[in-house]
Structure 1
Amino acid sequence: MQGTVDGFSYGTVTPVTAYVMACLGAALGLRCITRSLRNDKSWKPGWLALGAASIGCGIWTMHFIAMIGFQVEESRIRYDVGLTVLSLAVAIAVVGIGVLAVGYRGASTTTLVIAGTFTGLGVAAMHYIGMAAIRLNGSLRYEVRTVALSVLIAVVAATAALWAAVAIRGFLTSLAASLVMGVAVTGMHYTGMAAVSVHLHGAAGSPDVGDSAHSLLLPMLIGPVLFLALAGVVVMFDPMLVLGDGDWNRTASRRRGPGPRTEPPAWSGSAFEAPPKATDRRAYEPGAPGRRNG
């Protein structure tokens, strides 16, 4: 017996919210990766890790917000906790590998193809691991060609995201890229959901294992959403990301003024950038070697 599947039981609320979270994670991730490439003094591993975690959390949050709207009329749905947590770990890990690859090896065609394919397959794995966590009075079946299309969308989206991370620097262009990435990631999810059908097991009933969507997914979403909020705070308070390289340098020059200095400039770095050492102060003393006196 076929079950009646409804992927939009809350109307447009869940798909729109899922899209917004995918865009937010992509936007924060792109800005963090951009920041890692802007200044050699920055702690690159920290920015790359923050960017990868932001994108991974955005993708996972998008998936399970969308899943809150997924219902089968003839059966209640529950979720296996272990597989749900595993899907989050997979999302962050595979995006992290792809981001580290392009962050350290650059955006060569070979690197992008390999890293994008691996990351895209990982994102698809995250989606289907999340689907495997579903417990209901029946079994899920998939239409193979639609699944293949969803995997292809994931690979293309991941490759485009990694390319944008190293090739796009401006704020507005990064914002536009994140909106496109949100469309691609959300499109991958709903393409995968279009492949799903449910075969019910006899009489209507409820699974006796797992937690309901509201008791498991809503509390679990709090952590990734809070993480994205904290990542947003880090990005917002980093001067090089707010102003950009050129504007930041011009602002710093106006603050210093044209005259000679006898004190080192105030440190205005970020959470992933170390302050100057005390020994560096000698470079600003009058008569110091290499210092140009006014």
Structure 2
Amino acid sequence: MQGTIDGFSYGMVTPLTAYVMACLGAALGLRCITRSLRKGKSGKPAWLALGAASMGCGIWTMHFIAMIGFQVEETRIRYDVGLTVLSLAVAIAVVGIGVFAVGYRGGGTTTLLLAGSFTGIGVAAMHYIGMAAIRLNGSLEYDIPIVGLSVLIAVVAATAALWAAVAIRGFLASLGASLVMGVAVSGMHHTGMAALSVHLHGETGGPETGGSAHALLLPMLIGPVLFLLIAGVVVMFDPMLVLGDADGKGTVGRRRAPAQHTDPPAWSGSAFEAPPRTDRSAYDPGPPARRNR
């Protein structure tokens, strides 16, 4: 018996909120990576780690906020705590590998393809580990070609995000890139959900183990959301990102050096020797004006 799936039980509230969180994580990640690429490597690992954690948390919160609106009409849904936490760890870890790769090796084609492929597959793994955490009176089944399409979207999205991190500098450009990345990550999620079907096991009802969707997901989302807000404060108040643009060429705070008036060179020879003739036209204002008699 096939279950009746409703992925939008709260209308457009959950998908739009999920999209906003994906954009927020992408924007913070891009700005942190931009900050790490400035000259001076003392804080580079910290900024890359903050960027990876921001992007990973953004992807994870997007997934599980969208899953709050997911239900199967014939059975209750619960979540396994361990697999849910594991999906968060996987999201941060795989994004971190890609971010550190481009942060230290640059945005070369080979680096982007390898890091983007690994990160995209990892993001897809995060999605399906999160789905494996679902506990219901039935089994989840997937359409393999659509699953492959979702993985391809994740790889393309991850590669584009890593490219944007090293190629885009301006704030408005980073903002636009984060909006596009939000579309890509959300598209990957909904493509994966389109591959899903539920085969029910006889009687309706739900499992007794695991936490209910609201009882588990809402408290677990508090931590990553707070982390993203704190990361946003750190990025907003970083002097190098506020005073200068991403390419490090900001002009705020610079002062023009005052004009220097050049005096004629001093004569250091003997007092009995005549000083050498010099062209004083650059130093003297000229002869005084003649008076009319």
Structure number having the greater helix percentage: 1
SS of the residue 1:182 aligns to: helix
1: CA distance, partners of 2:252 / 2:202: 71
SS of the residue 2:251 aligns to: helix
Q: Kindly tell me: are residues 257 and 222 of structure 1, through their superposed partners in 2, closer, same or farther at Cα, counting changes over 3 Å?
A: farther
1: CA distance, partners of 2:66 / 2:18: 6
Give TM-score, length-normalised by structure 2. 0.85
CA drift of 1:240 comes to 1.9
User: 1:264 maps to what in 2?
Assistant: none
- Contact 2:60-2:87 within 8 A present in 1 as well: yes
CA drift of 1:241 comes to 1.4
Say how many residue pairs are matched.
259
CA drift of 1:239 comes to 2.1
2: CA distance, partners of 1:98 / 1:258: 47
Quick check: which has more Rg, 1 or 2?
2
Q: Kindly tell me: are residues 41 and 120 of structure 1, through their superposed partners in 2, closer, same or farther at Cα, counting changes over 3 Å?
A: closer
Determine whether 1:65 maps to 2:65. yes
- Contact 1:36-1:42 within 8 A present in 2 as well: no
Matches within 5 A, 1:1-294: 1-245=1-245, 250-254=251-255, 258=258
Q: Name the aligned partner's letter for residue 18 of structure 2.
A: A
- Contact 2:235-2:241 within 8 A present in 1 as well: yes
Structure 1: which 4+ aligned runs deviate by more than 2 Å? 242-254, 256-259
1: CA distance, partners of 2:199 / 2:42: 53
CA drift of 1:252 comes to 2.9
Give TM-score, length-normalised by structure 1. 0.85
CA drift of 1:84 comes to 0.1
- Contact 1:31-1:235 within 8 A present in 2 as well: yes
- Contact 2:243-2:250 within 8 A present in 1 as well: no
CA drift of 1:38 comes to 1.7
2: CA distance, partners of 1:151 / 1:217: 24
User: 2:285 maps to what in 1?
Assistant: none
1: CA distance, partners of 2:251 / 2:163: 29
- Contact 1:23-1:58 within 8 A present in 2 as well: yes
SS of the residue 1:145 aligns to: helix
CA drift of 1:243 comes to 3.3
1: CA distance, partners of 2:81 / 2:104: 35
Q: Deviations over 1:103-143 (max 9, x none)?
A: 00000000000000000000000000000000000000000
Q: Name the aligned partner's letter for residue 43 of structure 1.
A: G
2: CA distance, partners of 1:131 / 1:258: 65
CA drift of 1:247 comes to 8.1
CA drift of 1:205 comes to 1.5
- Contact 1:113-1:159 within 8 A present in 2 as well: yes
Q: Name the aligned partner's letter for residue 166 of structure 2.
A: V
Q: Kindly tell me: are residues 71 and 108 of structure 1, through their superposed partners in 2, closer, same or farther at Cα, counting changes over 3 Å?
A: same
Structure 1: gaps spanning 5 or more residues: 260-294
CA drift of 1:250 comes to 2.8
SS of the residue 2:197 aligns to: strand
2: CA distance, partners of 1:3 / 1:132: 17
